Amino acid sequence: MTIAMPTATVEGIQLTVTAFRPDAVIGTMGLPTLLQLVPSPKAEEDKRALKYASGSLRRHAEVRALVQRMLKSTQKGRNVAAYASYIASGVSGGHGAAWSTPPITLWLDGRPGAVGDELVEGSGICRITVLPGSPVVAIDGETQVTAWHELYDAPERFGVTFEQLSRVRVPFELYFGLSVQDARQIFYDRNVEGVPVAKNLAMSMDQRDIGTQIAHRIAETVKVEHDGKVVPLTKLVQNRKRQLTKTDSEVVTLSALRVLVITALHGRAGLNLSSSTVHDVDLPDRVDIEQAERELVPLLSQLIAGLFPHFAARDAVSAPAVLAGIGIAAHQATSWAGTGTRLSSEELVRLLEPVRFEREARYWDGVAASANSAGTLNFGGGAKDSGGRVADAILGPDTDHGRRIRGW
């Protein structure tokens, strides 16, 4: 007696997906499924371990090398642990609803073993089957994949549990039937064609960043008269761009306000933190977030309110370098200022009152900006380049730069 062998059943990993191109689908999958489908990139770069790995894993490593860059000894690789910590905090509820990871872009070297019928007529939703051993590579989002592997390999290290991870659904898009050249092109397009966000602008969007939090508080606190109405400064803060243009109705950018806060918080050391995320652990010694807000919000609000006519006139005061210098000077009026001459808020105001904030070369050329032959100023050097000089000029009225910005 013989047993008939199955002819129609295709075994493998089944994914529920929706097509958006004839050769591409989107969907979500459980984390264990993702980790089974896409091996750890870090493990595939361990030559010693790969020597004793299965043939399918070695084959996968060869295919990955055709379309991906190395993790080892790159910023991409160094970012894995930090990304895993971020994800773990999100999974465990530490970020509330304010966290996200982008869909992972996968490429199947070949075609699905089977494509099922629509699960709901007219919806395009169906199931596809990926055959065992078929190489699936993350051509975008590989750092995330590696971070998920790190989490699953040692969840206790990151403060999560297997139970929490087992409930995770990971969004993905999957391309199949494409050549290696096409997959490499998608890698290029995803990593190069997009315009990267300026880092300090990105910082101004980070609501967990202390500088951004306090900048928002200040913008909400300051009330100004503008176009015949009293409005909160927040209505005149540009949140989306790093620099103002002539057509903008706003008078200052959020990223520039953040620079003011960070330098007031840390003094000159804040110049090096202006493009870095600042969390509780980055606060000055013996200063907590409540104390920082309690002192900085009224102090900086008073300065901004007094200088608002210059903001409204789009004078030099709105330039990040000038605000950085003001922040460094304001640091001397905080209770935690460790070096330099301590100032009262009244003394700080008196230092700023005679400063000529008009955008004219005779005041700011060589201090916060450079002037061309026609006398047009360029403040493009930024806070790090010029903030220290501006602070010296504000704090030293009798220095060359101090007299220059005061028109003396």
- Tell which wins on pLDDT, 193 or 158: 158
| pLDDT at residue 204, as a whole number | 63
Domain extent, residue 389, equals 201-405
What residues have CB less than 8 Å from 377, skipping those under 6 apart?
Answer: 316, 359, 360, 361, 364, 365, 369, 370, 371
Whole-number Å distance between alpha carbons of 313 and 296: 25
Bridge-based pairing state of the strands 229-232 and 104-108:
unpaired
| pLDDT at residue 201, as a whole number | 64
287 torsion bin: left (phi>0), alpha (psi -120 to 50), beta (else): beta
Residue 172 within any structural domain of the chain? yes
DSSP states along 221-277: H-EEEETTEEEEGGGGEE-S-SS--TT-S-SEEHHHHHHHHHHHHHGGGGGGGTTS-
Is pLDDT at 199 greater than 70 in this prediction? no
Of 131, 162, 194, which residue is a domain's last? 194
The rounded mean pLDDT for the chain is: 90
Residue 100 within any structural domain of the chain? yes
Asked whether residue 40 falls in the same domain as residue 176, the answer is yes
Burial of 265 (0-12, 13-18, 19+ CB in 10 A): buried
Asked whether residue 38 falls in the same domain as residue 172, the answer is yes
Asked whether residue 181 falls in the same domain as residue 78, the answer is yes
Asked whether residue 62 falls in the same domain as residue 127, the answer is yes
Segment 300-347, tens digit of pLDDT:
999 999 999 999 999 999 999 999 999 999 999 999 998 888 999 999
Residue 254 · residue 239 · CB < 8 Å:
yes
Of 178, 194, 210, which residue is a domain's last? 194
Q: Which of 101, 168, 180 is nearest to 137 (CA)?
A: 180
| pLDDT at residue 151, as a whole number | 96
Bridge-based pairing state of the strands 104-108 and 169-176:
parallel
The total number of structural domains that make up the chain? 2
| pLDDT at residue 244, as a whole number | 80
| pLDDT at residue 73, as a whole number | 64
Segment 256-273, tens digit of pLDDT:
999 999 999 999 999 998
Burial of 214 (0-12, 13-18, 19+ CB in 10 A): buried
Continuous segment of H or E residues that includes residue 162: helix 162-166
Residue 224 · residue 236 · CB < 8 Å:
yes
Residue 275 within any structural domain of the chain? yes
What residues have CB less than 8 Å from 229, skipping those under 6 apart?
Answer: none
Residue 157 · residue 81 · CB < 8 Å:
no
Give the model's confidence band at 56: pLDDT under 50 very low, under 70 low, under 90 confident, else very high: confident
Asked whether residue 157 falls in the same domain as residue 44, the answer is yes
Sign of CA dihedral 387, 389, 392, 398: negative
Average confidence (pLDDT) over 166-193: 92
Q: Report the b/e string of 219-242 with b at 16+ CB within 10 A.
A: bebbebebeeeeeebbebbbeeeb
Segment 273-310, tens digit of pLDDT:
887 888 888 899 999 999 999 999 999 999 999 999 99
Asked whether residue 180 falls in the same domain as residue 206, the answer is no
Whole-number Å distance between alpha carbons of 23 and 177: 6
Q: Which of 31, 147, 29 is nearest to 88 (CA)?
A: 147
Is pLDDT at 216 greater than 80 in this prediction? yes
Residue 1 within any structural domain of the chain? no
Is pLDDT at 207 greater than 80 in this prediction? no
Residue 352 · residue 326 · CB < 8 Å:
yes
Whole-number Å distance between alpha carbons of 157 and 266: 32
Asked whether residue 39 falls in the same domain as residue 89, the answer is yes
Tell me the backbone φ, ψ of residue 55, rounded to 5 degrees: -60, -40
